[in-house]
């Protein structure tokens, strides 16, 4: 193999050094760990070269004014780690396996720093609304009360306390037919989609229908699992259910992302029929089902056929993305396959915040928080709509009845407006940004997320938006 024998030492070139020669940077710390670190550093930086013979532990202890046992222990550790080699008769020498100082590692670039003063892209709630003290109070109730096994390797579906409270909540608030035994808690919606796609591929799926408008992240998740997403047209009644294909379809029935239309009743039944007749699965992404303002709530598609529709929900919009808590309500036949994939993905989802969320729901704080933030976002939406009517009368606003974003049909080139906004420090996105196959000449529209900015910058963001739209 041409690899030199381990532990051979370049004894021919061995220099012996004294304690003083080592120039060890021990400052005032003289424990074993300090000496080990100082020797590591000297060897790494090349100050101590391979083959260098160290003083005896007795001598070095004397030179450095520390206990001999400390030095002997440090030498022992460095030998065990492969930094030094101890040979009867030849003393302790720096092993020749260790490279001299490698290039100083370049720090990984930090994620693009926020170049924008204002962010009106959709997808994030106003994270300043996170109810920190109520959450901490729920944690103070939930953690001491939890059984010991809540801190161990637990049920891969997630904590039963959360699944039971979620089943109640989802039935009540979203009309989901939810049995706690059929709920799987996931590490965010991305993981839910990842697990489902993995299972579908293992069952032979090669393609999955997706709405022609949506998030490229989701399409990337599907592709990363070896399945090809196929775009299906979306019109004013939602996705064209008559054009679904593949083994599954990913849908946003309550509020199409990002066009904002709810899936029409006949499209709902047609989609379910398609799934039944072709043995396919519908994945219902109920990403902002909590936030509906003007009209009666539109219940979950899942209730039409729980054996054909996977319901997915998330705490990312209602509480905070950083919780990374999402849930699936699964058909019976998908439980075991999903749990098997979950096992080799991350075993189970972190449990402590599950306990806190269960308590948060059970105590009524979740409903209260949703009501409060719903009013908060509704006020923002109303403000936006009123302002646009006055300052940008050529703009048509759509998709206002729910969610955290609206669609603006604009009387000019959407791409130009995005660029102009960008130059003024405002991040907005065109509808085209969310189109599966970009087509800059198609419908000229912007997607404006009014959830993201904190309160203190919302008015400034809207003002800039109106300037951009009015030009």
Q: Restricting to residues 41-60, which ones interact with a second copy according to CB under 8 A?
A: 44
Site for a second copy in 301-340 (CB under 8 A): 301, 303-307, 320-325, 332, 335-336
Residue from 230, 247, 267, 420 in contact with a second copy (CB under 8 A): 267
- Choosing from 113, 133, 364, 441, the residue that interacts with a second copy (CB under 8 A) is 133
Q: At what angle do helices 365-391 and 455-470 cross, to 10 degrees?
A: 30
Per-position x/- string for 211-230, each x denoting binding to a second copy as judged by CB under 8 A, each - no binding? ------x--xx--x------
Candidates 401, 379, 399; CA nearest to 451 is: 379
Rounded least distance, CB 84 to a second copy, Å = 9
Give kind and range of the element (H or E) at residue 37: helix 32-44
Q: Are 116 and 426 in contact (CB under 8 A)?
A: yes
> Quick check: 168 binds a second copy (CB under 8 A)?
no
> What number of other Cβ atoms are within 10 A of residue 359's Cβ?
24
Of the candidate residues 15, 168, 181, 235, the single one contacting a second copy (CB under 8 A): 181
DSSP 300-341: -GGGG-TTTEEEEEESTTTT-GGG--EEEE--HHHHHHHHHH
Minimum CB–partner distance for residue 413 and a second copy (Å) = 29
Residue among 71, 37, 77 nearest 55 (CA) = 71
Rounded-to-integer distance, Cα 61 and Cα 382, Å: 76
Taking CB under 8 A as the criterion, the residue among 46, 297, 394, 438 binding a second copy is 297
Report the distance separating Cα 270 and Cα 288, nearest Å: 23
* Residue 166 lies near a second copy (rule: CB under 8 A): no
Instruction: Quote the Cα angle for 279-169-200, to 5°.
Output: 25
Q: Who contacts 243 (Cβ-Cβ below 8 Å, separation ≥6)?
A: 209, 232, 233
- In terms of Cα–Cα distance, which of 310, 229, 237, 247 is closest to 268? 237
Residue 442 contacts a second copy per CB under 8 A: no
Q: Is 377 in the site for a second copy (CB under 8 A)?
A: no
> Binder to a second copy among 58, 87, 101, 140 (CB under 8 A)?
140
Binding residues for a second copy, total number by CB under 8 A:
115
Candidates 343, 368, 371, 379: give the one binding a second copy (CB under 8 A).
Answer: 343
What phi and psi values does residue 43 have, to the nearest 5 degrees? -75, -45
Q: Which residues, including other chains, have CB under 8 Å from residue 242's CB and lie 6 or more apart?
A: 270, 274
Of 344 and 437, which CB lies nearer to a second copy in the complex structure? 344
Binding mask 273-292 for a second copy (x = CB under 8 A): xx--x---------------
In the complex, the smallest distance separating the C-beta of residue 419 from a second copy, rounded to whole angstroms, is 24
Closer CB to a second copy, residue 149 or residue 235? 149
CB of residue 249 vs a second copy: minimum separation in angstroms? 15
By CB under 8 A, name the one of 235, 346, 382, 386 that touches a second copy. Answer: 346
Q: Which is nearer to a second copy, 195 or 406 (CB)?
A: 195
Residue from 33, 389, 419, 470 touching a second copy (CB under 8 A): that is 33
Best CA proximity match to 208, nearest among 258, 281, 153, 291: 281
- Nearest approach, Cβ of residue 209 and a second copy (Å): 15
Tokens of 261: 């239309």
Q: Is 2 in the site for a second copy (CB under 8 A)?
A: yes
Stretch that binds a second copy, among 11-19, 51-59, 294-302, 441-449 (CB under 8 A): 294-302
Residue (217 or 471) nearer to a second copy, CB = 217
- Only segment of 154-162, 380-388, 412-420, 424-432 that touches a second copy (CB under 8 A): 154-162
Place of tokens 């399409």: 219
Residue appearing with tokens 């054009």: 243
Comparison of 77 and 467: residue with beta carbon closer to a second copy: 77
Contact call for residue 65 and a second copy (CB under 8 A): no
Q: How far apart are CA 164 and CA 327, in angstroms?
A: 12
**Of 325, 317, 319, nearest to 292 (Cα)?**
317
Does residue 67 interact with a second copy by CB under 8 A?
no
Q: Is 401 in the site for a second copy (CB under 8 A)?
A: no
């Amino acid at each position: 193999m041409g690899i030199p024998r381990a532990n051979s030492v370049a004894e021919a070139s061995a220099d012996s050094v004294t304690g003083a020669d080592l120039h060890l940077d021990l400052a005032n710390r003289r424990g074993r760990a300090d000496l080990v670190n100082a020797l590591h550093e000297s060897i790494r930086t090349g100050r101590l070269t391979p083959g260098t013979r160290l003083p005896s532990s007795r001598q070095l202890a004397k030179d450095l004014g520390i206990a001999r046992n400390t030095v002997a222990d440090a030498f022992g550790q460095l030998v065990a780690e492969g930094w030094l080699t101890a040979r009867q008769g030849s003393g302790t020498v720096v092993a020749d396996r260790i490279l001299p100082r490698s290039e100083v590692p370049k720090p990984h670039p930090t994620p693009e720093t926020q170049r924008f003063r204002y962010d009106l892209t959709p997808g994030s709630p106003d994270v300043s609304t996170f109810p920190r003290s109520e959450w901490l109070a729920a944690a103070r109730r939930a953690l001491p009360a939890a059984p010991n096994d809540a801190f161990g390797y637990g049920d891969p579906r997630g904590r039963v306390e959360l699944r039971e409270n979620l089943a109640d909540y989802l039935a009540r608030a979203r009309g989901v037919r939810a049995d706690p035994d059929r709920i799987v808690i996931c590490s965010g919606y991305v993981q839910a989609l990842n697990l489902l796609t993995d299972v579908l591929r293992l069952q032979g799926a090669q393609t999955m229908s997706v709405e022609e408008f949506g998030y490229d992240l989701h399409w990337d998740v599907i592709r990363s699992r070896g399945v090809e997403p196929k775009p299906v047209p979306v019109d004013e009644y939602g996705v064209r259910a008559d054009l679904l294909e593949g083994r599954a379809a990913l849908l946003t029935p309550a509020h199409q992302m990002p066009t904002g239309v709810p899936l029409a009743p006949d499209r709902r039944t047609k989609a379910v029929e398609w799934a039944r007749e072709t043995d396919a699965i519908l994945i219902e992404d109920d990403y902002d089902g909590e936030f509906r303002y003007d009209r009666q709530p539109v219940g979950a598609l899942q209730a039409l056929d729980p054996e054909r529709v996977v319901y997915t929900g998330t705490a990312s919009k209602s509480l905070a993305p950083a919780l990374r808590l999402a849930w699936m309500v699964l058909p019976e036949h998908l439980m075991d396959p999903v749990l098997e994939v979950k096992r080799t993905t991350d075993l189970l989802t972190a449990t402590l915040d599950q306990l806190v969320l269960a308590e948060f729901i059970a105590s009524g704080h979740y409903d209260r928080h949703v009501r409060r933030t719903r009013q908060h976002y509704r006020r923002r939406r109303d403000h936006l709509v009123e302002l646009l009517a006055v300052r940008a009368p050529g703009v048509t606003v759509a998709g206002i009845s729910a969610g955290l974003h609206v669609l603006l049909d604009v009387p000019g080139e959407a791409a130009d407006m995005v660029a102009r906004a960008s130059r003024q420090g405002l991040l907005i996105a065109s509808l085209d940004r969310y189109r599966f196959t970009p087509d800059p000449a198609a419908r000229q529209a912007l997607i404006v997320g009014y959830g993201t900015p904190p309160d203190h910058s919302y008015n400034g963001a809207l003002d800039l938006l109106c300037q951009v739209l009015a030009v």
